[in-house]
Chain A
Amino acid sequence: MDIKNIAASGVLLAVGLAFASSALTSLEIGTAFRMGPGYFPLILSGTIVALGLLIGIRAFATDVPFHKHVAPVRAVAFILLAPILFGLTVRGLGFIPAVALTALTAAGATDLRYPVRMIAIAVSITIFCTIVFHYGLGLPVRLLGPWVGA
């Protein structure tokens, strides 16, 4: 068993089957002469599924020791949360609070033990970004949004 490649095969099968089923159920396939919107996607997703199967079968036949080596779950969660928070707040709170929130969240990904340091990092990034993007590049965005009464 080669756990890593079995997982790889699983990813390919999931993506391939999702696209293939969507193409088959909701899109016109057409013919080679007049290709419908589903024709090329079906070829591609078929290829992905086929490769997924091939990699999967080979993975079951070989023996490779598996070592799990991934980033801590909290780090992943905080890093992904940061841009999402930016998206949720940039319109309502405005640019400055949104950047501060994003930087603060990201800074918390490694270590929560030094809040002063985290805040210092977030504040400096916010000041820097406001100068660069608002005053330097003239990004058309409100510095403070309606949620904070501006």
Chain B
Amino acid sequence: MDLLNNLALGLGAALTPYNVLFCFIGTLLGTLVGVLPGIGPTATIAMLLPITLSLSPETSLIMLAGIYYGAQYGGSTTAILINLPGESSSAVTAIDGYQMARQGRAGAALATAAISSFIAGTIATVFVAALAPPLTSVALQFGPAEYFSLMVLGLMAAVVLAHGSVLKTIAMIAMGLVFGLVGTDINSGSMRFTMDFSELADGLNFVAVAVGLFGIAEILRNLEATTERSTVVKKVHGLMPIKEDLKAMLAPALRGTALGSALGILPGGGAILAAFASYAVEKKISKSPERFGNGAIEGVAGPEAANNAGAQTSFIPMLTLGVPANPVMALMIGAMIIQGIVPGPQVATSEPALFWGVIVSMWVGNLLLVILNLPLIGVWVRLLTVPYSVLFPAILAFASIGVYSVNSNTFDLYVMAAFGLFGYALSKLDFEPAPMLLGFVLGPLLEEHLRRAMVISHGDPSVFATRPISATLLILAVLVTAIAFVPSIAKKREEVFVEDD
């Protein structure tokens, strides 16, 4: 009963009052920032990440997991109440959730989102716990060639799942990779692209880049329009779901969980795909598909569950292989590296309490969300009425303090401002920042494994094709890339992401 032992170990680590407290603070802060319109989970985590760095590695990752769930829930809340999803995964929730809110069923929609997320989270936690150890043992057989191929697969999957043009997304990844290489080359000790700034010897600060690309650029985007947004729903009531609602949401939530758990493991951000897939499935099997788009509770329960299950299982590649599946996981890896933990399969054996603690804390975060956060919904609604002119100076102050606090280095603030401007320019030119951040984190890893593999093979690139695991991964990467170019799928892809704007 290894599974139970491991979960018990995780419960022991996650349920210390100290860790629960920080998980709760994380959930609360995550919701607080995530509920701000237009700010998705990635931006939220990037902005709150520095706060966690003063804690122990275990507590900080647990708090980050809490922030993640809070941010996701916050995103669903804005999607339901004001039809402004923070990230594409909650765009699906907005379709029927907002309609429910307009019909005076905002409370039911919010409760549905929270409860189906919780159902999904509970099941997915067990799924992650069951799947992590076997994957870890597979991962231990990985050599440099396999790691390289795996990361290529992950990056290519990110291309397919990104919204914009395929060429532009590949360009973003390459740009992220090369920005990730700035600093001292570990093999030769030579300075690369530092422009004689000694502050850049350790590379561009990850947090500064992430906050600039997401946080600052986001604020600039929001300042384009001068109109103040209006909240449709001023007061939310009827949070306690009625029996019929519970019955109606259970099956879609379970189906969504299954879809999300499976797709979430895929590198490249399967959670987004899962939400869309679940919505399509629910609409297809529904006896009355015409209700979809007009406030169908299944249209909220399914995608929310899928999204949350996917969010949870996307921890699997991160925890077992040290390879992030999406920008949020990239931020988690960034946090781990700053804490001095080398991500990879050895984490499960060298830091079992941390490993299992993080897995269980996902569930704890979910639970806290339902029992503590849902009753606070009135506060979040009121927050939506706070004018943006008050909010963004506060966000900017937090971001500045946060980025500075990572290394007490003022140079990082200039990096943040520069990447804020750059990120805004990129988004105006229809480049997406998320693949760039993924590339930024993977850049040094990808190069190191490429170099090692080539040294081992004496410069023969066929090593990537002759080693079976590596070959399989590369074939998958080619297939995934080909998919993006198949006309019919490319068209589907456009349709899927059209709801974003």
Contact = CB atoms under 8 A, between A and B. Distances in A.
Given A76-B220, A80-B216, 20 more contacts: A8-B429, A32-B461, A33-B454, A34-B455, A40-B181, A40-B446, A40-B451, A47-B170, A51-B170, A51-B171, A80-B421, A82-B393, A82-B397, A83-B400, A84-B414, A102-B396, A104-B393, A106-B393, A121-B393, A141-B408
A41 interface: yes
A38 B399 CA distance: 34
A132 B185 CA distance: 38
A55 B412 CA distance: 32
Contacts of A55: 165, 167-168, 171
Interface in B118-151: none
Interface string A59-81: 00000000001111001100111
A35 B404 contact: no
B426 interface: yes
Q: Most B CB atoms within 10 A — which of A38, A52, A111?
A: A38
A140 interface: yes
Contacts of B224: 69-71
B251 interface: no
A99 B420 CA distance: 19
A87 B450 contact: no
B420 to A, nearest CB: 6
B497 interface: no
A125 B397 contact: yes
B385 interface: no
B443 to A, nearest CB: 8
B174 A47 contact: yes
A51 B167 contact: yes
A146 interface: no
Interface residues on B, range: 35 or more
B1 interface: no
A145 to B, nearest CB: 12
A144 interface: no
A64 to B, nearest CB: 11
Nearest to A88: B410
12 contacts: A41-B178, A44-B174, A48-B175, A71-B424, A76-B223, A79-B216, A83-B396, A83-B413, A84-B417, A86-B400, A87-B414, A122-B393
A12 B54 CA distance: 37
Given A31-B459, A35-B451, A110-B389, A133 B426 contact: no
Interface of B: 51, 54, 165, 167-168, 170-171, 174-175, 177-178, 181, 185, 187-188, 190, 192-193, 216, 219-221, 223-224, 226, 389-390, 392-394, 396-401, 403-405, 408, 410-414, 416-417, 420-421, 424-426, 428-431, 446-447, 450-451, 454-455, 458-459, 461
B428 A70 contact: yes
A84 B417 CA distance: 7
A107 B190 contact: no
Interface residues on A, range: 35 or more
B426 A4 contact: no
A9 B108 CA distance: 47
Given A8-B429, A35-B451, A107 B393 contact: yes
Contacts of B51: 137
A138 interface: yes
A128 B397 CA distance: 10
Interface in A99-138: 99, 102-104, 106-107, 109-111, 121-122, 125-126, 128-129, 133, 137-138
A11 interface: yes
B405 A79 contact: no
Contacts of A23: 192-193
Nearest to B413: A87
A37 B421 contact: no
Interface string A3-42: 0110110011001000100110001100111111110110
Q: Which 4 A-B pairs have the closest CB atoms?
A: A33-B459, A87-B413, A106-B393, A87-B410
A27 B188 CA distance: 10
B193 A12 contact: no
A62 B264 CA distance: 37
Q: Most B CB atoms within 10 A — which of A82, A84, A91, A138?
A: A82
B133 to A, nearest CB: 34
B420 A80 contact: yes
Given A35-B451, A52-B171, A22 B193 contact: yes
A86 to B, nearest CB: 4
A93 interface: no
A90 B412 CA distance: 13
Contacts of B216: 79-80, 83
Nearest to A39: B451
